[in-house]
Amino acid sequence: MRASTLALAGFAFLALTSLSPADDVYMKNGGVFRGKATPSGDEVEIDLGYGTIRVALADVDRIVSCPSPLEEKAAREAERKRLLDERLALAGKTDAQALYAVALWARQEKYDEGTVRGVLALVLGADPDHAGARTDLGDVRYGARWLPASEAERLEARDHAERMRAQGFVWFDGQWMPEGEAKWQERLDENEARRDEAIAAAGRAERENESLRAELDRTQEDARRADEEARRKFEELARRHQAETDSIIEDGKRLAASLARVERCLEQAESQKAYAAREAYNALEAAKAAHCEACQPTPDLAKIQALLSDVIRHAENAIRAARQSAD
């Protein structure tokens, strides 16, 4: 922040010292000070721009006032204007050639363009047809008139077009050509355009076909991979199903064997039950027969039936034991 402030102060100092008038204070000892000199009694105060000093008036040899750069520039411009006015006055207002000589001199002496064109306007005031002044102003002769170059070019192009059309020419593709040739060239251009479009369309179609072929290849590859995955999963499921089927068959075989054993046990139990019943029945009949033969009192049928029930119970227990063994 401080550095920028110092820089701005320096620029301001340079501007002030370059624009404000100054004095050269020559000292008797040979020294020179440049600044704004202000005599004050027996001293001279010199403002140097960056500070002020005081010197004894007796030590000062002389003080020479110097104009500022702006004053010097204004003086030079005034002198140049004075010289130009003198030459214009000598040339007069009616001598076009003398005025034109002043314009050439002003351009040679680096007067600004506005000043030079102003002198050329004075030339045309004395002679509107002065070729040199017209040319320097950028005008060209078109027929009997002087016109700005752009306007003359426009009119020349218009007149040239009218002449060419009158001769049967037409403007085509940046040039004049006979109407028949223009039509032929137009058809040729149309054919070339159609050919170029056909070539471009063929190129687009080829690129689209290449894209479709690439897409088809990707689709076929995806289908092949999907088929392989499906086949792998099917084979895995088939193996798993076969294993489960084999397990079920083995379980069925074991169950059938168990059922066969149960049936055999049941058959054995039924045989034992039937055998026990027959034995009980035979014992009962034998007891009845013995009673009849001996004419003894009727035996206790309840005991006989209890005996028969015991036989049957033993038979049923045997059947249950057989079933449990089968399970």
Tokens (6 digits) for 131 = 């070729």
Please state, in angstroms and rounded to a whole number, the distance separating the CA atoms of residues 13 and 38. 20
195 located within any domain:
no
Choose the final residue of a domain: 51, 66, 81: 66
Q: Which amino acid is at 184?
A: W
DSSP tag of 169: E
In the chain, alpha helices (H): 2-19, 69-91, 96-108, 113-126, 131-136, 149-166, 179-294, 301-326
For the chain, how many structural domains are there in total? 3
Whether this prediction's pTM lies above 0.75 is answered by: no
DSSP tag of 138: T
Same-domain pairing of 82 and 44? no
Same-domain pairing of 57 and 83? no
Count CB-CB contacts under 10 A for residue 37.
19
Same-domain pairing of 124 and 108? yes
Answer whether 23's CB lies under 8 Å from 63's CB. Answer: yes
Q: Per-residue pLDDT for the chain (327 aa), expressed as one digit of tens each?
A: 444 443 433 433 333 344 456 788 999 999 998 888 899 889 989 888 888 999 998 998 998 887 767 777 887 888 889 989 999 999 888 899 999 999 999 999 899 999 999 999 999 999 999 999 999 998 888 888 888 888 888 988 888 888 888 888 888 888 888 988 888 888 888 888 888 988 999 899 889 888 888 988 898 898 889 888 888 888 888 888 788 878 888 877 887 777 777 677 767 767 776 776 677 677 667 766 765 655 445 556 676 667 777 767 776 787 777 667 656
Phi and psi for 271 in degrees, rounded to 5?
A: -65, -45
Choose the final residue of a domain: 40, 66, 92: 66
Same-domain pairing of 62 and 12? yes
Provide the domain limits for residue 124: 73-136
